């Protein structure tokens, strides 16, 4: 039967639809086939090690949990191949190559940083991510190892935490005990860098061979125990690290005075046992130990429940490395899931570099390159999920975010948390995850660490260093002075030196709580005073262990060495020649300036005139002929200077003015007497130098002591030409140069330190200091930088000062000065500026009295004038007296006696009352 064209068209359409559906089904089936049924990863660690026993069950449990989770690798089974490195770098490398030959997508481990360095080159070649849960060497983060992924914390952060602890307790020097492999060297290098940033240092590195025997460890600790530092940082492997504390215990190094800080290997050893190892706890009493801080979470508690069921018959507990290993499996699972979800295929290809190796029987051609290994590595770096150890996320420098450590103190049968450290909050008693919460603002915010029970069961912070019992005696440099030997001088006694500075040093040494062996070594040729800057350089170069004597603490020297607390005050001061003031006929005029004498003369006359005016009307002693009155005013004025005036004052205003004036005279007399006494006994400068400014501006020669820092100060700080400076060695040289003067081969002044000047002036009274000390410093003992000995000796010097022994030694060696250095030259005549306030008060009192007096006169004058008008009412009288309206009449009125004026006013009153009486009498006589 033939098909029509329409039927053929319909049949063709159905065929197209059928084939299209089949192609779609085939494509879907192909997509499902790209996700493999199984993916394999490797695990590389030492099965029998402390870490290996803790991580093996964790890896197996993590693989089982991944396979049981339908959201991760659905339809794909995750399997792990484990290889034992047997704690051997060589065996571990072979095992790693065998593992890589099995086409694994990633390798977990190794736990050893040394093996990680070797096999990182292999995974770089084969493009297989290497995810380590225990390798903590900071150098593994180098760009040299792009396929190395650290799933634990780097020792870079752990050493930062240890540095914070050392800085918190103010220790400056530490000794490190570490295993001499990549793990130990990398960590200690990071510790040294961190300490140097905080002005601390590693004084000795005790290197232990990997797997060192107990006798080897004991020999090394014996050498360590002979050194000064008592702060030890132990960074060794968990499997053999306890031997360090065992040897230390046998040597008595776990007693009071010692500080032991262990990295997180020790907490791993302790945590690996269910009930703790009693032997380990006994050996490590008082040790500070770090542990990776892991925040509590529901995921962690869920794992802990599974872990307890899994290891019920075992002896291992959940350690930080256990959780890191568990999260490492999930890290790979999440990365593979994203890798497959993006349609990436898992395939391997032959490495052409290995194919070119001819004649090898190692079958290296079995190692194949993971073709998309770089894409899987990218997914690993971009991971971001919450694991049992916290947030699993990497920073740009390929480290886990938010590194933090718990700081523990071993005591009794357990561990006690004394604080935390994180890279963003530093030391704190608050857990890092609560730093930004309200807990940070509590009363414990200012507490960085809780109290520690140190070795020897003591809560007192150890000093951190001791003087070595079997060390060589300290070489103490002492300047061999040729002048001012009161401070330091050569002696025939057992010490070879004596003096004030030597006694202070020996007394301070005797106060230290530990014995110190030392010997004095003289520095200098004995011909002139040595250079103290050179002596300080010898200390900085460790030629001398210390330097004592009259060493000034100045800026340049503090950059080289550390000084103790000053034991005597010092500073530069000027000494110049002076002479006694010679008496002359006009010496009595010197206490006051010319202007002062003029003002005093005027003021005496003014006060006398005021008193005369106030007393003239009432006091007969101030009346008489004009010539007599002038003599009275002058006599009264100047006689008050000696309080010998004979005239009495009777008016209230006159007595008021006189009282103020006598007080002024008393002050003037006292000041005159004091000033005259000073001028007749004080010494005056003969060089014309009045202070530092005048000395700098002049061109005169200046003397300085040989070996002193004063020369550098004058040249560098005061910019005085070196050609003006003259070195002088002894007090006799000082006196000779000052007597000669600047123009005769001598000097106009000498600049030296105050203690030397005091001794010089006690012997030569012809010279005086000018001005005040213009630099503030002191003398101390010099020690090498960061020497703890300087701090202890400073405390001893303060003790000597407080109990009076320092002053007693000062008086014994330096007392008995005849010419006080504190009596500075310079006594000027008194001028008006010293008395203007007193003169102002006196002047105001006089003016006030005069105002009151004249107001009273005007009042009397007005009443007196009215009386005259009443007595002479008729204007027709030709010869009647003129009215008192002229100045002459006013002066005439003022010249009248007070009694005469009063009588006249009284008469006026009586006359005004008499007419009234007469009128009354006339009225009474009239008839009624």
pLDDT at residue 684, rounded to an integer: 55
Residue 131 has pLDDT above 90, yes or no: yes
Tokens of 771: 């001005």
Q: What is the CATH number of domain 38-152+300-397?
A: 3.40.50.2300
Residue 428 has pLDDT above 50, yes or no: yes
What are the start-end ranges of the H helices in 511-593? 532-540, 555-558
- φ/ψ of 295, rounded to 5, equals -70, 140
pTM to 2 decimal places? 0.67
Other Cβ atoms within 10 Å of 25 Cβ, number: 10
Other Cβ atoms within 10 Å of 313 Cβ, number: 5
**Which CATH number is 155-296+403-434's, of 3.90.1150.10, 3.40.50.2300, 3.40.50.620, 3.10.400.10?**
3.40.50.2300
Percent of the chain with pLDDT over 70: 79
Residue 878 has pLDDT above 60, yes or no: no
Among 278, 186, 238, CA closest to 53 = 238
pLDDT at residue 902, rounded to an integer: 64
**Higher pLDDT pick, 656 / 99:** 99
Q: Do domains 474-570+786-814 and 685-776 have the same CATH topology?
A: yes
Count Cα neighbours of 749 within 13 Å in the Cβ-side half-sphere: 27
The angle that helices 754-763 and 731-740 make with each other, rounded to 10 degrees, is 70
Contacts of residue 641, Cβ cutoff 8 Å, sequence gap at least 6: 604, 665, 668, 669
Among 222, 230, 290, 239, CA closest to 260 = 230
Q: Where are the domains of the chain?
A: 38-152+300-397, 155-296+403-434, 474-570+786-814, 587-660, 685-776
**Higher pLDDT pick, 839 / 737:** 737
CA dist 668 and 470 (Å) reads: 76
Give the mean pLDDT of 598-602. 82
Tokens of 102: 């099995």
- φ/ψ of 481, rounded to 5, equals -80, 150
Q: CATH topology for 685-776?
A: D-Maltodextrin-Binding Protein; domain 2 (3.40.190)
Tokens of 898: 């007070």
Give the mean pLDDT of 134-150. 94
**Higher pLDDT pick, 7 / 82:** 82
Residue 876 has pLDDT above 60, yes or no: no
What are the start-end ranges of the H helices in 512-593? 532-540, 555-558
Q: Predicted confidence band at 733 (pLDDT cuts at 50, 70, 90)?
A: very high
Average pLDDT, the chain: 82
Q: Predicted confidence band at 829 (pLDDT cuts at 50, 70, 90)?
A: low
State the DSSP string of 502-563. HHHHHHHHHTSSS---EEEEEES-SSSPPPHHHHHHHHHTTSSSEE-SS-B--HHHHTTEEE
CA dist 750 and 769 (Å) reads: 9
Residue given tokens 């053999």 in the structure block: 240
CA dist 707 and 528 (Å) reads: 8
Give the mean pLDDT of 286-310. 90
Contacts of residue 412, Cβ cutoff 8 Å, sequence gap at least 6: 281, 285
H helix or E strand, kind and range, residue 693: helix 692-697
Q: 678-688 burial, b for 16+ CB within 10 Å, e for fewer? A: ebeeebebbbe
**Higher pLDDT pick, 363 / 127:** 127
- Tens of pLDDT, residues 30-68: 334 468 999 999 999 999 999 998 899 999 999 999 999
Residue 689 has pLDDT above 80, yes or no: no
Residue 3 has pLDDT above 50, yes or no: no
> Which value, in Å, is the radius of gyration of the alpha carbons in the chain?
52
**Higher pLDDT pick, 335 / 696:** 335
Q: Predicted confidence band at 10 (pLDDT cuts at 50, 70, 90)?
A: very low
- Tens of pLDDT, residues 366-425: 889 999 999 999 999 999 999 999 999 999 999 999 999 999 999 988 899 999 999 888
pLDDT at residue 13, rounded to an integer: 35
Give the mean pLDDT of 864-884. 49
Residue given tokens 């300080």 in the structure block: 536
CA dist 240 and 214 (Å) reads: 9
Residue 508 has pLDDT above 50, yes or no: yes
What is the DSSP secondary structure assignment for residue 717, as one 8-state letter?
A: I
Among 154, 156, 178, CA closest to 244 = 178
**Higher pLDDT pick, 816 / 640:** 640
Contacts of residue 151, Cβ cutoff 8 Å, sequence gap at least 6: 131, 132, 133, 324, 327, 328, 331, 392, 400
Specify the CATH class of 474-570+786-814 in words: alpha beta
Residue given tokens 């570099």 in the structure block: 353
Evaluate whether 778 touches 568 at the Cβ level (below 8 Å): yes
CA dist 657 and 894 (Å) reads: 20
Evaluate whether 158 touches 164 at the Cβ level (below 8 Å): no
Tokens of 258: 């010692």
pLDDT at residue 912, rounded to an integer: 56
Q: Predicted confidence band at 820 (pLDDT cuts at 50, 70, 90)?
A: very low
What are the start-end ranges of the H helices in 362-458? 373-381
Residue 608 to residues 79, 146, 856, 892, Cα–Cα distance (Å): 124, 108, 20, 21
Percent of the chain with pLDDT over 90: 49
Evaluate whether 381 touches 392 at the Cβ level (below 8 Å): no
CA dist 575 and 808 (Å) reads: 27
Residue 12 has pLDDT above 50, yes or no: no
Among 327, 351, 344, 349, CA closest to 379 = 344
């Amino acid at each position: 039967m033939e098909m029509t064209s329409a039927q053929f068209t319909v049949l063709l359409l159905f065929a197209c639809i059928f084939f299209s559906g089949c192609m779609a089904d085939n494509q879907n089936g192909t997509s499902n086939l790209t996700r493999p049924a199984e993916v394999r990863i490797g695990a590389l660690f030492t099965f029998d090690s402390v870490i290996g026993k803790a991580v093996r069950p964790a890896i197996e449990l993590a693989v089982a949990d991944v396979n049981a989770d339908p959201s991760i690798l659905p339809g794909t089974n995750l399997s792990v191949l484990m290889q034992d490195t047997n704690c051997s770098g060589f065996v571990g490398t072979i095992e790693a190559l065998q593992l890589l030959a099995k086409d694994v997508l990633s390798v977990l481990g190794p736990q050893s940083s040394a093996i990680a360095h070797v096999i990182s080159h292999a995974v770089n070649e084969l493009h297989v991510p290497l995810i380590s849960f225990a390798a903590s060497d900071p150098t593994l983060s180098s760009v040299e190892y792009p396929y190395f992924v650290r799933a634990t914390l780097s020792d870079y952060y752990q050493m930062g935490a240890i540095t914070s602890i050392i800085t918190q307790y103010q220790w400056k020097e530490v000794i490190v005990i570490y295993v001499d492999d990549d793990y130990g060297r990398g960590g200690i290098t990071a510790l040294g860098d961190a300490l140097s940033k905080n002005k601390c240092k590693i004084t000795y590195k005790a290197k232990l061979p990997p797997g060192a025997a107990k006798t080897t460890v004991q020999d090394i600790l014996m050498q360590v125990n002979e050194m000064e530092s008592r702060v030890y940082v132990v960074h060794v492997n968990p499997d053999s690290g306890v031997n360090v504390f065992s040897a230390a215990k046998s040597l008595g190094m776990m007693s009071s005075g010692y500080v032991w800080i262990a990295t997180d290997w020790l907490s791993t050893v302790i945590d690996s046992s269910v009930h703790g190892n009693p032997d380990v706890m006994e050996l490590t009493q008082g040790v500070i130990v770090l542990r990776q801080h892991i925040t509590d979470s529901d995921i962690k508690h869920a794992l802990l429940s599974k872990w307890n069921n899994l290891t019920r018959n075992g002896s291992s507990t959940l350690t930080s490395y256990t959780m890191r290993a568990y999260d490492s499996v999930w890290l790979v699972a999440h990365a593979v899931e994203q890798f497959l979800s993006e349609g990436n295929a898992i395939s391997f290809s032959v490495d052409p570099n290995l194919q070119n190796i001819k004649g090898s029987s190692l079958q290296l051609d079995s190692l194949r390159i993971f073709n998309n290994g770089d894409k899987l590595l990218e997914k690993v770096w971009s991971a971001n999920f919450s694991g049992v150890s916290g947030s699993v996320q990497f920073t740009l420098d390929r480290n886990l975010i938010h590194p933090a450590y718990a700081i523990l103190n071993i005591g009794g049968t357990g561990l006690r948390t004394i604080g935390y450290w994180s890279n963003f909050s530093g030391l704190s008693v608050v857990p890092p995850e609560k730093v930004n919460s309200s807990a940070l603002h509590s009363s414990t915010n200012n507490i960085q660490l809780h109290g520690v029970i140190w070795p020897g069961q003591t809560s007192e912070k150890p000093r951190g260093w001791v003087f070595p019992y079997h060390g060589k005696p300290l070489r103490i440099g002492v300047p061999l002075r040729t002048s001012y030997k009161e401070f330091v001088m050569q002696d025939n006694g057992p010490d070879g030196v004596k003096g004030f500075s030597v006694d202070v040093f020996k007394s301070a040494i005797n106060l230290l709580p530990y014995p110190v062996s030392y010997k004095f070594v003289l520095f200098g040729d004995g011909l002139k005073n040595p250079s103290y800057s050179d002596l300080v350089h010898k200390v900085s170069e460790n030629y001398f262990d210390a330097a004592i004597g009259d060493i000034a603490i100045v800026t340049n020297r503090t950059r080289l060495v550390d000084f103790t607390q000053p034991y005597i005050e010092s500073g530069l001061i000027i000494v110049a020649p002076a002479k006694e003031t010679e008496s002359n006929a006009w010496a009595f005029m010197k206490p006051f300036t010319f202007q002062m004498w003029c003002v005093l003369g005027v003021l005496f006359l003014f006060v006398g005139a005021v008193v005369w005016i106030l007393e003239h009307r009432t006091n007969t002693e101030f009346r008489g002929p004009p010539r007599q009155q002038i003599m009275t005013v002058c006599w009264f004025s100047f006689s008050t200077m000696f309080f010998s005036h004979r005239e009495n004052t009777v008016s209230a205003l006159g007595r008021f003015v006189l009282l103020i004036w006598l007080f002024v005279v008393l002050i003037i007399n006292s000041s005159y007497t004091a000033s005259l006494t000073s001028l007749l006994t004080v010494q005056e400068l003969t060089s014309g130098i009045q202070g530092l400014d005048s000395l700098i501006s002049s061109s005169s020669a200046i003397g300085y002591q040989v070996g002193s820092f004063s020369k550098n100060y004058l040249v560098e700080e005061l910019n005085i030409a070196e050609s003006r400076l003259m070195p002088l060695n002894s007090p006799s040289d000082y006196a000779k140069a000052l007597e000669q003067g600047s123009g005769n081969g001598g000097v106009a002044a000498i600049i030296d330190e105050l203690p030397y000047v005091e001794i010089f002036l006690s012997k030569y009274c012809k010279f005086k200091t000018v001005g005040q000390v213009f630099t503030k410093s002191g003398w101390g003992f010099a020690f090498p930088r960061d020497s703890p000995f300087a701090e202890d000796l400073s405390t001893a010097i303060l003790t000597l000062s407080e109990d009076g022994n320092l002053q007693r030694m000062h008086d014994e060696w330096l007392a008995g000065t005849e010419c006080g250095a504190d009596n500075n030259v310079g006594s000027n005549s008194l001028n008006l500026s010293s008395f203007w306030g007193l003169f102002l008060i006196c002047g105001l009192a006089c003016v006030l009295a005069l105002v009151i007096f004249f107001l009273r006169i005007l009042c009397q004058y007005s009443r007196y004038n009215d009386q005259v008008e009443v007595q002479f009412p008729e204007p027709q009288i030709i010869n009647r007296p003129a009215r008192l309206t002229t100045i002459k009449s006013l002066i005439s009125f003022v010249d009248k006696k007070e009694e005469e004026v009063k009588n006249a006013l009284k008469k006026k009153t009586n006359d005004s009352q008499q007419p009234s009486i007469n009128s009354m009498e006339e009225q009474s006589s009239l008839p009624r």
